[in-house]
Chains A and B, each alone.
Chain A
């Protein structure tokens, strides 16, 4: 019996000993990681390690994400780089001349740039990349009408069939340029072949988990990228992201508002960006799906049951600013000094509903998608709508058809946080025009059409005036219920400096913002 007991105790003790050994080795490992962070913080600018909350699809230049695109920024260049105000600065193109009436551009390219495969970044490569983008990925629609001429190896002339005021924002500052040989290879997702400030270190990369890049020593603007190595870690869980931030495993990442206090308490710096406007979209302006929504008094009444100040303070816990218009403050369409056109007044709202003949309200379905940040907001919106006897019910969308169904026009009233852009013509294009993907009923409006034509063909002053006129019109027509500019949060270690965020979408710091 005694022998048995000893053996049992020995067997129980073995895993404990293993755990102790592992603890010691783990200790060593953690010390190493910590050392790296300290080295980066001490000014050596060795390794920058960032967290990404979603993985990239691959290296296809036509299929890079619209935010958290640090991998794409690391390996690819664009023709120009747009700053936080949407103003372009040189990248591959050193100078450019826009054609009148938004009908194209002539670009002069930087000399001496090379792709990873050693081939030159020239006019032929730019043309090949734009043609590739026109045939593949999300930008295909916008690029479809381009004609591209290359009078010499350093000049590209882009001509549009129709005026496009978003040529700079959505083509010149976003189309990624890659090696023509690579684009023709049919293997664009396996590894990148660009001319960017970093090159992918395939040996130290585990797809879906960790992407490692080493600095491209011959990059034309190498001084803008002080870190010799870039590591991007995919951390899809908020909990894992915060744990990694707190333990120094990553030095910067987007965090949710729920993690704001924890991030601050952990000694992290938190940057607040305002690239979204949460709004209720009332897209059935003609009342074809829900007749009541075709009545402007009903739309105005809906605006009047939301107290945006209280929403910002209570629902967003102070991590938001109340919104009176959908456009970003400071953008061309934004009306500065606008006081709330529809102040919170439930009694007046009810009177408007009665005047419109809808005192008994109506029924509507509000789609919900997990992970969009509507969990606290949607019940409040449903409750406030009920004050007008509007019976709103939540419809949960999920799976591959969720977005298609959301944008199908089946739901003429949508609660959604949508981007507000440095170039407010992009807001008009996406949310106001009948072709806009978020104008889900795609209903034509003569006033908007006339003003948009002025944007397409007018002078800069005429365009700005038309943008403001569209904003005034959609406020007066109550096409939206603007609610809040929520704080989008980027937490980072004090060892990393981010003097400013230059993203025109104001969603995250750009790779060149990390100093």
Chain B
């Protein structure tokens, strides 16, 4: 298991280096445009050139990337070209908001999709017939459309929830719950839809296997058969879908943050990329790559823990 984990960690580090270098390469060569953006449109050519040098954008690509990488290792991600804020400080306020959305959505999606998938597989009949088209519908409607509908229904027509804004849990727990409910619901629909149908299919397949018949024949309670034996065998594909969902949720959360004006990484990513705020963009890419790699790693480890055969692959 340790060797398995080390192999996965090494792969994650390689992916992070590749992704960050590719991003740096894409951002390279815009020095004068970035400097003009910092100084304003009527900056003189001499002032622009001086700013290019000041920001270090005149140096070769490998030198710039090497400096950035050294900073990462020492915990210094640089400062924003435009606001002068340390990137770490910016990320420390923005990333938790996005992560909150993702983690809460994922936790609810995991529980609810298992329950819905099991209910559809075990009971079949009308429950299955209702859940299946609803799953397809939920997966087909983009999250931002659901978000707009939720805002109209529960923030404008019936003022149960705030239409925009974010309240930190440090300020108010109820305010925090209130501020994330609609964004989480908007993300949740698609996540549940995708994972529930996956769980339904794998649970159905597992239920038809011989060992389940044997367990039932031995008189083991049905709940134990399903939640202890069937689910364990059916967990692999479901966990894979959930880990993929997490990666998809990063993209989804960025759009949802714009609709609800949440101060996460969504708006920051857009603005920083347009401006060419290299330190901010690189910080965001690093964080999202780490999140994706960690989720992949945890997903692989969880699957390996549940199903020893997976460790061999």
Contacts and interface: CB of A to CB of B under 8 A. Distances in A.
Q: Are these two chains actual partners, yes or no?
A: yes
A237 B222 CA distance: 51
Nearest to B277: A400
B260 A208 contact: no
Interface string A211-237: 000000000000000000000011111
B203 interface: no
B160 A189 contact: no
A247 B163 contact: yes
B271 A26 contact: no
Interface residues of B, number: 64
B259 A239 contact: yes
A209 B166 contact: yes
Interface residues of A, number: 63
Interface string A383-407: 0000000000000001111111101
B263 interface: yes
A4 B222 CA distance: 8
A446 interface: no
A500 interface: no
A140 B43 contact: yes
A142 B43 CA distance: 10
Contacts of B138: none
B155 A4 contact: no
Contact of A189 (B85, B258, B276): B85
B93 A247 contact: no
B174 A28 contact: yes
Interface stretch (B27-35, B70-78, B206-214, B302-310): B27-35
B257 to A, nearest CB: 9
B174 A29 contact: yes
Interface in A27-63: 27-31, 33-34, 55, 57-58, 60, 63
Contact of A400 (B37, B177, B259, B270): B37
A206 interface: yes
A141 interface: yes
B313 interface: no
Contacts of B44: 140-141
Interface stretch (A7-15, A110-118, A447-455, A503-511): A7-15
Nearest to A32: B175
Contacts of A399: 30, 33, 273-274, 276
A138 interface: yes
Interface stretch (A17-25, A312-320, A335-343): A17-25
A187 B270 CA distance: 26
A73 to B, nearest CB: 19
B33 A137 contact: no
Interface string B18-59: 000000000000101110110111111001000000000000
Contacts of A7: 223
A243 B118 contact: no
Nearest to B159: A30
Given A1-B222, A233-B165, A240 B258 contact: yes
B298 interface: no
B198 to A, nearest CB: 18
Nearest to B82: A57
Given A7-B223, A243-B151, A237 B175 contact: no
B177 A3 contact: no
B43 A400 contact: no
A140 B47 contact: yes
Contacts of B100: none
A437 interface: yes
Interface in B146-195: 148, 151, 154-156, 159-168, 174-175, 177-178, 181
Given A57-B82, A246-B156, A15 B275 contact: no
A237 B177 contact: no
A399 to B, nearest CB: 6
B-side binding surface: helix, strand, loop or mixed?
A: helix
Contact of A138 (B41, B159, B263): B41
Contacts, number: 184
B276 A247 contact: no
A44 to B, nearest CB: 22
A263 to B, nearest CB: 13
Given A209-B166, A249-B162, A403 B43 contact: no
A235 B261 contact: yes
A244 interface: yes
A22 B108 CA distance: 15
Nearest to B79: A189
Contacts of A239: 148, 258-259
B286 interface: no
Contacts of A241: 261
Interface in A399-447: 399-405, 407, 437
A140 B181 CA distance: 47
Given A26-B162, A208-B263, A8 B42 contact: no
Contacts of B297: none
A402 B166 CA distance: 32
B111 A23 contact: no
Contacts of A19: 181
A437 B42 CA distance: 7
A221 B74 CA distance: 50
B61 interface: no
Contacts of B118: 8
Contacts of A240: 163-164, 258-261
A3 B227 CA distance: 13
B151 A29 contact: no
B160 A30 contact: yes
A400 B34 contact: yes
B85 A247 contact: no
Contacts of B263: 206, 208-210, 234
A207 interface: yes
B119 interface: yes
Interface string B90-112: 10011000000000000010011
A244 B41 contact: no
A29 B226 CA distance: 42
B274 A11 contact: no
Interface in B257-285: 258-261, 263, 267-268, 270-271, 273-276
B115 A11 contact: yes
Given A138-B42, A234-B261, A236-B258, A27 B160 contact: yes
A137 B40 contact: yes
Given A236-B267, A239-B259, 9 more contacts: A26-B161, A57-B82, A141-B44, A235-B261, A239-B258, A240-B260, A247-B159, A249-B162, A249-B165
7 nearest CB pairs, A to B: A138-B40, A400-B276, A401-B33, A209-B263, A25-B174, A26-B178, A243-B163
5 contacts: A1-B222, A26-B177, A141-B42, A189-B83, A190-B84
Interface of A: 1, 3-4, 7-8, 11-12, 15, 19, 21-23, 25-31, 33-34, 55, 57-58, 60, 63, 137-142, 188-190, 206-210, 233-237, 239-241, 243-244, 246-247, 249, 398-405, 407, 437
Interface of B: 30, 32-34, 36-37, 39-44, 47, 82-85, 90, 93-94, 108, 111-112, 115, 118-119, 122, 148, 151, 154-156, 159-168, 174-175, 177-178, 181, 221-223, 226, 258-261, 263, 267-268, 270-271, 273-276
